Every structure is written in structure tokens, then in C-alpha cells.
Structure 1
Amino acid sequence: MSNSNVTALPVLDFREFDAGPTARGAFLEQLRSAVRDVGFFYLEGHGLPQSLIDDVLGLSRRFFALPEAAKLEIEMVNSPHFRGYNRVGQELTQGQRDWREQVDIGSEAPALPFDKGLPAWTRLQGPNQWPSALPELKPILLEWQDELTKLSTRLLQAFAIVLEQDENVFEPIYAGTPNHLIKIIRYPGRDSTESEQGVGAHKDSGFLTLLLQERQQGLEVQADDGSWIAAEPRPGTFVVNVGELLEMATDGYLKATVHRVVTPPAGSDRLSVAFFLGAPFDAEIPVLDLAPHLKAEATGVTRDPNNPLFRNSGQNALKSRLRSHPDVAQRHHADLLDAENKPKATAA
């Protein structure tokens, strides 16, 4: 598998999946090529109404236009569950500051009792924070989360067929108490930041990511030769990419691809809304029993000593959160940090 010759992300029309055997077969072949050769693709024909898309983007813009005090009312450092608002430069990737402001909205669930006898990842479950100055945000984003959950689980069924599995093979993993995440994100222009790193190079940790882009480009996908493929905004589409849980479940037949966001030009900004389909925190990620001809093409899971992967979904999520949000970790989870305020190897 190589994406060194790819200059643009492929475009897939999800309507073809339900358009009869011939169209479905063609769609599945396109999907197989996209997720093997690139790991990213544009999805059109997804069925989400444009009115909802406009509401999500419009309310995101309205939130970021609020006075700073109204945004800091839901600052993430006040949430032991890593929910809420981060100012520009508060989140880290590869130890460097990401120059974006954002709100993290997870699956709504009651907090579990704190108990050191329970796995540390149980601390991640809990309520979101919502801004009192923009009450319209909550119902729209929860509707968005519900619609994107339905869409992404249907996509996983298509992935399962590509893998020559029963289309519901992933259901035991994504069923149960969900662990999904929305990020509404604004990237200030170059004149308002300290570096070109909107978000540093990384892989996504869940099953699938569906990204809604507004109008300003900045997302780039890394090719095998180290070059970068621009994922320019395309109206009416999502950018979809494979996460590390799918890479693990297929022993590397599907690859999570490194990507980044470059800071927009001076005098502009960039708005996007990312949805991450995750597994319940208590889910154990199996390795699928692939057919021999597929197994022969599986190259194993990428091993990065700086980013260990765990079979338990909650361990992976907690590892990522502790590293990305050191202020939250120090305030609420100091017992999970070592003397240098880094996550302990046993923290998860």
C-alpha cells in the first residue's frame, strides 16, 4: 500500500451503498482503495440536511464570537472529564501547543463515583459543560452527535463488508455506553499565533473521524514519502478518516494516517467541526479473523514508543487526554502523573 502518488483525496458518494448491487459493489471497491491507499476520503451523499449543517457552523461561529468571560465559563480545566472550552494554545500535540480554540463535547452520561479501586479511565465519563450565553448550542450539538453516530455506524458496516466480515461485526464494540466526541474548532490567522501549527501531526485514536470544514483550507494528510496532501473544503461533504482502533482491529490492514492542520493566513481564520466515533470505555478491541488473502496484506499495527496503543478503549482515551491537556491532568488527576507531571505508565 502506498499513497505517494496521490495528489488529492478520493470522493465517495454514500448514496451508491444503497443503490442496488452494481452500485454498491462499485462503492465498496472505491472504499477499499480509499482506506487502503490513503486512509482519508471525502464523503458526499451522506443524507444530513443542509439546514442542520448550517445551524452547526453558524452556532459554532456565534460561540467563538462570545466575550472571553462567557467562553471561560465552561473552561475545560474545571471538568475532570475533559469537557469544555480551551483557549488558543491550551492543547498540546507532540508536546507542542496547538494554535486553536475549541470546545469538546462528549457523550452525555452521569459521572461515575470516584474510586481508586476502579480503572482510572472511569473518570472520563461524565456530563458536558454548556455556555449559558448560548443555550441554543446544546440541543443542536446533541442532535449533531446523534446524526453523526448513525452515519458513522452505517459507514462501519460498509467497512465490515470491505473486510469480508458480517456487516455488524463491530456492533459489540460500538454498542453500549457510547464514547463519542465532538470538537468545534476555530484556528486564528497567522498574525494572531506563534507558529504554523494549528494542530501538530498526529493520528486519530478512535474508530472513525468525520470532519465538517467551513471554507478555509488547512487540513493536510501525510503521504508515504513524507509530502502533504491538501484536503481542501468541498461543500456538501465530510472528510472521513480511519482511526487507530480500526488499525488495531484489522492488524494494520487498515491504516490510521498521520495528518495536521496548518495555521490559516494572516487576516483569516478557519472553522471546523470534528466528530470522533469511539468505543465504550470498557470495550476490548479484538483482532478480526481476516480471510487469508486480506491477512497477507495486513502489515501489523504501527508501533510508536511515544504513543503506546492499548486493547482497552478507555486506556487509549485516558492516555490521550492526560497528554493533551496537562492543566486538567494536574488539577484533577495528579495521582496519575509522575514527578515530571507526565502520565504514569500505569495511569490507565
Structure 2
Amino acid sequence: MTLSLPVLDLTLWYAGGEPRRQFLTQLGDAARDVGFFYLTGHGIEQTQQQAILQLAAEFFALPQADKNTVQMRRSPHFRGYTKLGDELTLGKADQREQFDIMAEHHAPVLRENEPAWWGLYGPNQWPAALPEMQPTLLQWQDQLTDLTVTLLRAFALVLHQREDAFDHTIKDGPYRHMKLIRYPGRTAPKQEQGVGAHKDPGYLTLVLQDGQSGLEVLTENGWVSAVPMPGAFVVNIGELLELASNGYLHATYHRVVSPPAGVERLSCAFFMAAQLDATVPLLSLPDALSLQAKGPASDPTNPLFYQVGQNVLKGRLRSHPDVAKAYYSTNIIQL
């Protein structure tokens, strides 16, 4: 197996002292050069990872009628099942089916003139046919939250800030979003868009892959495959870290290419952002870093917002126009 992305061992961070400084150097290089890396030494057993992928396989194997009982279009909070072709990237249908959850919340009662992004909070939907999904996935989500908070504090040090520089943006708990995903094999040669090229809107993303390749990262040398590495998570930074560092750190475009005919791919993606009512801080970087910070990427088709809820809602509305049309006003959908 040829690995094309950096491999970072989190046990160096936990060791402290010189090993921690070594980890921070590697983290800074990986974030600047590629924006993606493999993470090992995170303490989550491979058997548990495999159990999550097995749970995903069991869910997607349910009869379509059972999956439809928790379809996302029933949820104004963008939670639940999305069938093949119903999520869009850059306006084109992604060839995947998925199940989305976030943290469990009561649905808010929005008053007039309150921001629409409050509607992202709410309850998850759970399939009655698999009662073990709720406790298993909520526990898994908590574990991945702890892991991303650790990484976020490491990134603060990479940027020569206090380790707690981002803590005020997650003091009430970060915004969490997780997907179980199934990519079926192609039914036509040109049907390649498992997921179209995009950046993630939050702070950090963790991806758990099965043994089938498909995730690709855009580098200076073109598209590079993030070949599955047993036991490792693939980690990438999102738009909020790009904004906070004034472009010193770059959120990287990535995509998923559909598997060949007769093959499927399973994955679990976890996205961590600041709490929705937070505003991402524009950090004051030391001169050595500031000179390399050219500002966040400017893309008129993808405006970036320092207000977290606005940035997260933008992505949800674009990806799920059916949910947007059902629950959100026209002027909000045009974000």
C-alpha cells in the first residue's frame, strides 16, 4: 500500500515534551502543505471502528421502506436518511446514500427575526428497525468530539496561540455533524461523482474508511488518493480554521470517486465546528506566520462567513434543496 498523505501519530502529543513539539511541527507542515493527513495513535480501537462500519452496512441493507421512515426531508434540522442522488454538490447529484445525525437537542421555537441557523438544532431521527443505532452512534459521536477538541487545541499551538485560543467558541459544546455513507458501484462509466469537489465548512473533519479507495485530495500535483489505512482516520481542516488563520491554513478541496461496478464503499465522516452562535476569531499571528497568510480563499460561488451558524447553514441549504424548500424562506436559501 502506497500512502500519499502525511501520517501523524497522536501518541507523540500525549507524551508531552519533545515528542509533543515534534507532533506540532508535523501537524503544521501537514496542514500547510496538504491540508489532509492520516491520524494514528488516537486510542480508538480498530474493532470499534469496524463495528461502526458494520452498523452502517446493516442500516443501508434495510428495506427501502424502513429507511424512508427517517428520511431527511421530514426534518427541518437536516437529520436522517438521504437516498441515492438526493444530495447535491455544486448543483450536481452525488451518488451516495447516507444517514446524518448531530447532537441531540430539543427543537427550538424561533421567534421573529431570529437567525434561521437556530433551526439546525433539534432531535435526530432513528430507525425503529435498528434500535442499537441511537446509543452506539451517540457514544461514537462523543468520542470523536473529544478527539477533534484535542486536535483543535494542537492547531492553536501550531498557530503560536494559547492552547485554549478556540475554547470560547466551543464552551457550550461544538457543533457536531456525522454521516454514515454508502457509495454504490457505478452503473455507467462516466458516473463518477460519489461526492463532488468541495471544502468542509467547520473546524475539522475525521473520516473513517473501509478498505475501498475513493476519497481524493486536490494538491499542487493534482488529485491524490487517500488510500485507506487500517486503524487510521483521515483528517482535514475546514473553512473555519482557514478564516481564523487568515488563510495561513488552507481548507482543501476534496471529492469521492464512485467505486467500480459491482463494488461498494462505506465510510463515516464526522464534522466538528464551533457552536452555532459563535463568531470565528481572526487570530493575531506572529510575523513569521502572518507573512505567509494571504487571506482566506476568495470564491464568489462559495462565500465564507465568520458567523458559524451562517457558514454551516449555507452548506446544508445547498446540499439539501428539498429540505431547504420545505422549511426555509427563499431569501435564506439564496445564501
- What range is the shorter-chain TM-score in? over 0.9
Deviation at 1:262, TM superposition (A): 0.2
In structure 2, relative to structure 1, the CA distance for the partners of 1:265 and 1:12 (3 Å cut) is same
Q: Which amino acid aligns with 2:135?
A: P
* Residue 132 (structure 1) aligned with residue 128 (structure 2): yes
Q: 1:22 aligns with which of 4, 18, 24?
A: 18
Partner of 1:229: 224
Q: Decide which of 258, 261, 271 is 2:253's aligned counterpart.
A: 258
Compared CA separation, residues 193 and 148, structure 1 to 2 (3 A)? farther
1:18-48 Cα deviation digits (max 9, x unpaired): 2242211211111111000000000000001
Alignment of 1:83-232 (within 5 A): 83-191=79-187, 195-225=191-221, 227-232=222-227
In the superposition, the TM-score normalised over structure 2's length comes to: 0.97
Root mean square deviation, CA, Å: 1.5
SS in 2 for 1:191: coil
- Deviations along 1:61-117, one digit per CA (max 9) or x if unpaired, are 100000000101100000011100000000000000000000110111111103232
Residue 246 (1) aligns with residue 241 (2):
yes
The CA distance in 1 between the partners of 2:129 and 2:277, in whole Å, is: 35
**2:334 & 2:253 partners in 1: Cα distance?**
25
1:142 counterpart SS class:
helix
Write the letter of the residue equivalent to 2:9.
D
Q: What amino acid is the match of 2:254?
A: H
Give the aligned partner of residue 287 of structure 1: 282
Task: State the Cα distance separating 1:54 from its structure 2 match.
Answer: 2.2
Q: Is the 8 A contact 1:55 1:140 kept in 2?
A: no
Q: Is the 8 A contact 2:238 2:251 kept in 1?
A: yes
Q: 1:326 aligns with which of 311, 321, 328?
A: 321
User: Do the aligned partners of 1:121 and 1:318 also contact (CA within 8 Å) in 2?
Assistant: yes
Tell me how far 1:334 sits from its aligned partner.
Answer: 3.8
**Normalising by the residue count of structure 1, what TM-score does the alignment of the two structures yield?**
0.93
AA at the equivalent of 2:124: N
Identity of aligned residues (%): 54
Tell me how far apart the structure 1 counterparts of residues 123 and 284 of structure 2 sit (CA, whole Å).
37
Q: Secondary structure at the match of 2:187?
A: helix
Partner of 1:69: 65
Secondary structure at the aligned position of 1:209 is classed as strand
Residue matched to 1:3: none
State whether residues 107 and 178 of structure 1, in contact with CA within 8 Å, keep that contact through their aligned partners in structure 2: no
Following the alignment from structure 1 to structure 2, what is the Cα–Cα distance between the partners of residues 265 and 108? 36
User: For structure 1, which runs of at least 5 residues remain unmatched after alignment?
Assistant: 1-6, 338-342
Is contact 2:204-2:235 (8 Å) kept? yes
Deviation at 1:335, TM superposition (A): 4.3
263, 267, 279: which one pairs with 1:272?
267
Q: Does the C-alpha gap of structure 1 residues 321 and 80 become closer, same or farther in structure 2, counting only changes over 3 Å?
A: same
Instruction: Look up the SS of the partner of 2:27 in the other structure.
Output: helix
Asked whether the equivalents of residues 76 and 85 of structure 1 are also in contact (C-alpha less than 8 Å), the reply is: yes
SS at match of 1:42: strand
State the 4+ residue runs in structure 1 displaced beyond 6 angstroms. none
Match status 1:8 vs 2:4: yes
- 1: CA distance between counterparts of 2:261 and 2:311? 36
State the 1:176 CA deviation. 1.1
Post-superposition offset of 1:330: 1.1
